[in-house]
């Protein structure tokens, strides 16, 4: 175990915090790295900038946007909720209508899940910022980027995002255990004006983190091994360049989508190509085929772990993740296992059809 109070520990911490900002695409503001999952970073974002009874605008279209709504309500926020069919994402026009109608600016924050991990749906965060600007609304913009940041285009500063949450286990290519939070200057000023008032907070306090981070340390024991891993991950991402990282994820995702299209009776949960995620594909199984049998078969027979269908998708869909440190051969292996497990579970699929479609894309780049 590394000494997290050693004189040279700030050399690690200072460089980490600056380089996480590069991945988030921010030159101002701050990032905080908590020993938690992304859910802890969600809680920090809320408790440091909002208060009980504050009105917020949110949308629900999958298990993780659902959980964010649940947290907001349990923490005493007044949630104006836009319900969306699972398979679509943040409803820009519904947000526009709600913000335009809020003449006294009682809505303090707008929440948007950039990538809904449960359904494989990506939303237009730049579009949310455009709606805020066009309606002249000053609300803070919160973004859940757990399965998007470090994988698909995310421009915190350019898009005017105020608080952006991520975690170590997705695009940052590490085990779970770090909650990562980007905070704009605007959100930091909101926190400063509260002068430690508002919601109670301790472990996730901005004030405590700022005081110790400014010296190169943390106010409690950090996950030092994961911080060392984060250093390695950041070196990989920044050496490749974020634009190339985003392009690579799009390239890998397209091969998976080609395979799904070749599987008779299967289709993406994403309700159209404009919603399809470049980090995870949620896939409906054919009528009469239980997705749980597909997942169990892939795991037990082919030693491959497919993501389960969550909540209302249980038994109806499975998921293939295609983010982080992957290559086409690894994805072809996952697609082969999924294809065999689908056939074993009763799907009328021509063996090799999906893998061949993916191979054609990866071989030709088209």
Each residue's pLDDT tens digit, 213-228: 999 999 999 999 999 9
Q: Given this model, what pLDDT does residue 348 score?
A: 97
Q: At 213, phi and psi to the nearest 5? A: -60, -35
How would residue 114 be classed by pLDDT, with cut points 50, 70 and 90? very high
- Contact by Cβ (8 Å): 141, 162: yes
Give the mean pLDDT of 146-174.
98
pTM more than 0.75: yes
Sequence-separated (6 or more) residues with CB below 8 Å from residue 243: none
Q: Given this model, what pLDDT does residue 198 score?
A: 84
How would residue 1 be classed by pLDDT, with cut points 50, 70 and 90? confident
How would residue 130 be classed by pLDDT, with cut points 50, 70 and 90? very high
The pLDDT tens digits of the residues spanning 56-81 come to 999 999 999 999 999 999 999 999 99
Whats the size of the chain, residue-wise?
Answer: 366
Q: Given this model, what pLDDT does residue 187 score?
A: 98
Distances (CA, A) of 360 to 14, 22, 152, 302: 45, 35, 23, 23
Q: Given this model, what pLDDT does residue 224 score?
A: 96
How would residue 103 be classed by pLDDT, with cut points 50, 70 and 90? very high
Q: Given this model, what pLDDT does residue 365 score?
A: 81
Q: Which CATH number fits domain 242-364: 3.40.50.10860, 3.40.50.150, 3.90.1150.10, 3.90.420.10?
A: 3.90.1150.10
Q: Given this model, what pLDDT does residue 177 score?
A: 97
Percent of the chain topping pLDDT 90: 98
| pLDDT of 203 above 90 | yes
Sequence-separated (6 or more) residues with CB below 8 Å from residue 24: 31, 149, 154, 156, 164, 182
Q: Given this model, what pLDDT does residue 115 score?
A: 98
Q: Given this model, what pLDDT does residue 317 score?
A: 98
| pLDDT of 196 above 90 | no
List alpha helices for the chain, DSSP H: 9-24, 38-49, 63-74, 92-101, 125-134, 185-194, 206-213, 224-240, 242-262, 291-302, 328-344, 353-364
Q: Given this model, what pLDDT does residue 123 score?
A: 98
| pLDDT of 211 above 80 | yes
Q: Given this model, what pLDDT does residue 323 score?
A: 97
Q: Given this model, what pLDDT does residue 197 score?
A: 82
DSSP of 124-164: -HHHHHHHHHHTT---EEEEE-TTTTTTS---TTTTT-SEE
- Strand (E) or helix (H) holding 80: strand 78-83
Rounded distance, CA 200 to CA 303, Å? Answer: 46
Rounded distance, CA 193 to CA 208, Å? Answer: 15
Sequence-separated (6 or more) residues with CB below 8 Å from residue 134: 96
Question: How many other CB atoms are there within 10 angstroms of residue 141's CB atom?
Answer: 24
Rounded distance, CA 181 to CA 187, Å? Answer: 12
| pLDDT of 128 above 90 | yes
| pLDDT of 366 above 80 | no
Greatest Cα pair distance, the chain, in angstroms, is: 64
Which structure tokens are listed for 75? 């923490």
Give the mean pLDDT of 80-100.
98
The pLDDT tens digits of the residues spanning 293-351 come to 999 999 999 999 999 999 999 999 999 999 999 999 999 999 999 999 999 999 999 99
Q: Domain 9-240: give its CATH architecture.
A: 3-Layer(aba) Sandwich (3.40)
Q: Given this model, what pLDDT does residue 193 score?
A: 93
Rounded distance, CA 8 to CA 14, Å? Answer: 11
169 by DSSP, 3-state: which? coil
The domain spans of the chain are 9-240, 242-364
Across the strands, what pairs with 86?
88
319 labelled ligand-binding: yes
- Contact by Cβ (8 Å): 181, 201: no
Rounded distance, CA 249 to CA 312, Å? Answer: 27
Q: What mean pLDDT, rounded, does the chain reach?
A: 97
Q: Given this model, what pLDDT does residue 299 score?
A: 98
The pLDDT tens digits of the residues spanning 36-62 come to 999 999 999 999 999 999 999 999 999
DSSP 313: G
């Amino acid at each position: 175990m590394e000494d997290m109070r050693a004189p040279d520990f700030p050399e690690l911490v200072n460089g980490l915090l600056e380089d996480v900002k590069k991945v988030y695409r921010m030159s101002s503001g701050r990032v905080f790295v908590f020993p938690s999952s992304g859910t802890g970073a969600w809680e920090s974002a809320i408790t440091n900038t909002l208060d009980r009874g504050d009105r917020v605008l949110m949308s629900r279209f999958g298990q993780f946007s659902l959980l964010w709504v649940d947290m907001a309500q349990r923490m005493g926020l007044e949630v104006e909720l836009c319900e969306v069919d699972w398979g679509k994402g943040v409803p820009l026009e519904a947000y526009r209508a709600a913000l335009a109608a809020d003449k006294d600016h009682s809505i303090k924050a707008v929440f948007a899940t950039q990538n809904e991990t449960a359904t494989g749906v990506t939303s237009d965060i730049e579009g949310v910022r455009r709606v805020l600007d066009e309606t002249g609304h000053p609300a803070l913009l919160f973004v859940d980027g757990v399965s998007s940041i470090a994988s698909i285009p995310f421009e915190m500063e350019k898009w005017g995002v105020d608080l952006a949450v991520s975690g170590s286990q997705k695009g940052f290519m590490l085990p779970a255990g770090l909650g990562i939070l980007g905070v704009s200057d605007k959100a930091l000023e909101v926190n400063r004006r509260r002068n430690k008032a508002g919601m109670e907070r301790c472990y996730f306090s901005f004030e405590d983190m700022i005081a110790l981070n400014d010296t190169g340390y943390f106010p409690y024991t950090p996950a030092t091994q994961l911080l060392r891993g984060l250093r390695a991950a950041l070196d990989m991402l920044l050496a490749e360049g974020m634009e190339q990282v985003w392009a690579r994820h799009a390239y890998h995702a397209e091969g998976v989508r080609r395979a799904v299209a070749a599987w008779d009776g299967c289709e993406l949960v994403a309700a159209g190509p404009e919603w399809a995620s470049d980090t995870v594909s949620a896939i409906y199984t054919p009528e009469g085929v239980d997705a749980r049998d597909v997942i169990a078969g892939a795991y037990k027979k082919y030693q491959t772990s497919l993501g389960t269908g969550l909540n209302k998708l249980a038994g109806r869909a499975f998921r293939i993740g295609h983010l982080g440190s992957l290559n086409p051969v690894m994805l072809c292996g996952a697609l082969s296992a999924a294809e065999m497990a689908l056939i074993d579970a009763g799907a009328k699929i021509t063996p090799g059809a999906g893998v061949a479609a993916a191979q054609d894309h990866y071989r030709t780049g088209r």
